[in-house]
Structure 1
């Protein structure tokens, strides 16, 4: 770590939480330079849904590179680009009766969010965008503007305007699907009140499951009503599926069970298949109104990523077998997390999330951080999320087998037990 600490910027974060030098990786394990192996419940912050060095994708990428095929092409037409477009339409969109134009905005999640925000404002001629409490959409200025986290927002160094924040489903722990509080009542009342200050928004942007915001999962009924409100008020609906998409919650898109019809869908992270930088923006054809070159980027033609992404679709998404396994293992994760929480009734906690995107919110200062530290000592890599880093968060590769899943959860349980014991004084005061 000496070289990293000497030469790399202070802004680095993950190398602080996991202070070893990693060298090898396969599926759901990472190995450091000392030969220690770790189970990966982090998966590149959701960019490695298919694990490390997937054999099918690796073979396709190596074959492509060795054949002197195109690597960089901006948005010039290439065979790899063509193959991905065809596969995505045939395997993902058409079976779901979805019709979208596919835009390559640049290689990252914040690029796809920026493109959707710009295009929604362009096609409506309006500026205001509605976002939600605890939202996280990226680190460039437009995406940061619709992000709620104050620590991230302050890093902009300037005001971030033209955004109105409204309550996400489950604010204050009250959920619409339990008949407790439907936060969309507030949103709709604001829209219907000419003196609310909201005006007529161009768009609403929403994460069906908020990752960085604390693994908050909106109910499908809440998402359905949000879609209906947007349509009734001529507001474009943008779904940010950058982290929750590509199968992480048990369906390719995290909102499928809601039956909604977004105007724009943002995908990145695992759309690149092999962990390669890639993002796409799905646009309803009637809103495909950018002039040629009006939104562009030098690295919107990452052809090895197109190759890996196509291989991922062909390998895992031709039928429902893979997704069904994710859903079944997701139920097992929920069961185990609830059992862990129940072991410590004196710790105020709740299990959150869906599928392979879950966590335990631990409402004791520093406790979730302690869980991740204890887990790392025992050979498990996981992180925290939430506005106060209060959620011990799981994002395992979807290719994780049952044995690896159980071993990882066993380590997490041991880590939670150790962290609770170390924080006994703080827990006593909270209780």
Structure 2
């Protein structure tokens, strides 16, 4: 791809053109604001991921984006991650709070009460905010920001459950990627490197690495010494942006350290106290990095199920405005994101819908208004013969419900 071609699909340019997000100097660098179109697409993806997790046995929680300094000292983030954190907020001599750079310290849900082996694996998920003190020179659009909304989860397992748990997480990642249209560039086993930034003993690291290698059996992957988290090795699923830059989107990380630090335990079948293993995982990464990638890979033309507007209705003239508005009302009632565009010439409105990458355009003329039908034009240039409104809404609804990347149902 040439430099000119990569610039044409850069998510920052497309984000401005499609009114998906904006950066304002009054808000600050690295703090993008999601506009209505971008927020609609993001909301659809968030709801999908939550539902996918719920059906896989996850329970969802909320936790605050800041906590006492002592929490992050105990978790190890102050000692190993301080350069990436914002300065503490001091309310008094005894009260110092920190914006979290990661969600894992707040997984105090596990220790809210005693736990039994019967509850394991315990899967706790959250879409939560975290903050990184990124330097101005590395910030860019949605791909590198200071306020991050992370799809995160922490799965607590017995040691003999870890392998199957990691394999199931990898299956969920593949399912989410297929629905979103993510095309992974490769799998990476991120290992400990030289230096003193890593916690835990050699035996713990060797065991964690062995478990991840076994879970990757049959998967092509590369090894990356020095790319592990400070508390354990990880499987990273890599993506490449329009400019050829590689980054991590999804991740699975093994952690023997946090359960020790936070004195987490469960009671086994014999009544003995055991230490769980903590599996950190993110199916789709942060919403910011995910959408930076999705905007580019789809060139703004998202699959219908998370397109900001799924159906726009175009009355040919003022006489059909009422019929178009009623069709839009029925579409919204059916759960679709639909609107009416009645201003300007029909040709200009069709071109505007194409510019906005709307998957379906419904043209309502005098004949369609009279017999309760609509003619659908598809984003890719195809058209569908006039059909009853109920059938048209059923067609669009079927594609959306299937989370298909095509614009017509398989049998159409």
Give the TM-score normalised by the residue count of structure 1. Answer: 0.23
Q: If each structure's strand is expressed as a fraction of its own residues, which one has the higher value?
A: 2
| Greater RCO (CA < 8 Å, at least 6 residues apart) | 1
Give the TM-score normalised by the residue count of structure 2. Answer: 0.24
Q: Which has the larger radius of gyration?
A: 2
